[in-house]
Amino acid sequence: MAEEKYNLKNPAVKRILQEVKEMQSNPSDDFMSLPLEENIFEWQFAIRGPSDSEFEGGIYHGRIQLPADYPFQPPSFMLLTPNGRFETQTKICLSISNHHPEHWQPSWSVRTALVALIAFMPTNPNGALGSLDYKKEERHALAIKSREAAPKFGTPERQKLIDEIHEYMLSKAPPVPRLISQEGHSTNQENEPQVSSPSSDGASAAVEVPPNLEGGSQIAEEVPPVVNPIPVVRQLPATDSRPQPLQRPTPNVPKQADDRLFTFAAIGLTIAIVVLLLKKFMKSSGHGPVFMDES
């Protein structure tokens, strides 16, 4: 890229040319981006779908438009390849885009923005502007289709740059792995035998066995070996069938103070009865008044 045809006194131009040199001297396998010869404020890019997602292996092209006061203002982003996460040919809303200039930092660059865009791919759209929420199977199909050809966009100069970037990314991006959906797992597991293992309540619990996968290109979760669990035994009190001798209840032994109190009460009651009987006898015999006068 001939620098003499650009105004090097312009801070934005100077910064953009520095980023172009850095991008060419330190290429990445995850993305590639270059500006147009006729307009260095417009960049074409392609990113590789993030690993361990339905986008893995896909090649997604897009366009970056840098503002005149870059890097003090954020760029705008537009995807050109159908992907199921962002709308195509529509400026998308991200925290690193011109929709949120309050979040942009002048120290960030095109490289920083592309790394962030890859990280945004598998996230929840939450209804953001320019976002889509396709099913994983649909996104996976679009990832396969994205490798077939580069999207058609703009002038012949743009298209030439897009095709060059596409060829580079094809040489770096691994093939799209096969996607195993949850529905596929459940369908296959219904036709497989089940292994019973004892559970804590004595009932047998069915353990589903994943199907045997054919072919080395299919991705499957590693299933740990099934280990027979140790049944839980509830400890119960021991019972003896032999007759047990009857245990007589132990009588409560009264205290010594209670014995004395009971004795005194019995003696007092006896004396009272004797006095009453004596008075009754004397009255009946006629000695009662004499006895009273003498007393």
Between CA 110 and CA 24 the distance in angstroms is: 13
The per-residue pLDDT for range 143-182, each reduced to its tens digit, is 999 999 999 998 999 999 999 999 999 998 889 998 876 5
236 located within any domain: no
Which one of the listed residues 36, 93, 116, 282 is annotated catalytic? Answer: 93
Which has more pLDDT, 249 or 84?
A: 84
In this structure, what CATH number is given to the domain that contains residue 83? 3.10.110.10
Residue 148, amino acid:
E
pLDDT band at 77 (very low <50, low <70, confident <90, very high): very high
Would you state the structure tokens that stand for residue 287, as one six-digit string? 């000695």
Name the maximum alpha-carbon separation found in the chain: 161
Q: At what angle do helices 110-120 and 11-25 cross, to 10 degrees?
A: 60
pLDDT score for 231: 39
Decide which of 126, 143, 172 is a domain's last residue: 172
pLDDT score for 183: 54
Report the predicted TM-score, pTM, of the whole model to 2 decimal places.
Answer: 0.61
Between CA 78 and CA 84 the distance in angstroms is: 14
Domain count, the chain: 2
Residue 93 annotated to the active site: yes
Decide which of 121, 148, 172 is a domain's last residue: 172
Domain containing 280 equals 263-294
Would you state the structure tokens that stand for residue 40, as one six-digit string? 């260095």
The per-residue pLDDT for range 174-230, each reduced to its tens digit, is 899 988 765 555 333 333 334 333 333 433 333 333 333 333 333 333 333 333 333
Between CA 106 and CA 72 the distance in angstroms is: 5
